[in-house]
Amino acid sequence: MSNTARQDLHDLVDALPPGEEQAARRYLEYLRDASDPFASLDRVDPLAALPDEERARLHASLREAEAEIAAGQALPADVFLRELRAAK
């Protein structure tokens, strides 16, 4: 983006009517995120909303999965998906 275009945007923001800042912010965030649907993932902590007990269970499951992988007990994804589809 050119400096002129960037300055034009700053001027528009400075000229916003009172009370419209939040709407403009949401729209600019929408434009930013629309170009990369995964852009917001680094700004969100999905575990923050989990209760401590649920977070502890999740971490225990991850440790168990890591141990199974390390022991060679993990299934390749294609085998897992085939078995999952067959179980329906």
pLDDT, tens only, 33-70:
788 777 767 777 777 778 889 989 999 999 999 999 99
H/E element, 85? helix 77-86
- Which DSSP symbol is given to 27? H
- Which DSSP symbol is given to 50? S
Which two structure tokens, joined as six digits, stand for 33?
Answer: 């995120």
Domain ranges across the chain:
3-43, 52-86
CA angle 63, 66, 72 (to 5 degrees): 145
pLDDT, tens only, 21-38:
999 999 988 888 788 777
Q: Please identify which residue in the block is written with the tokens 């991850």.
A: 62
Residue pair 40/26 in contact (Cβ under 8 Å)? The answer is: no
pTM recorded for the entire structure:
0.41
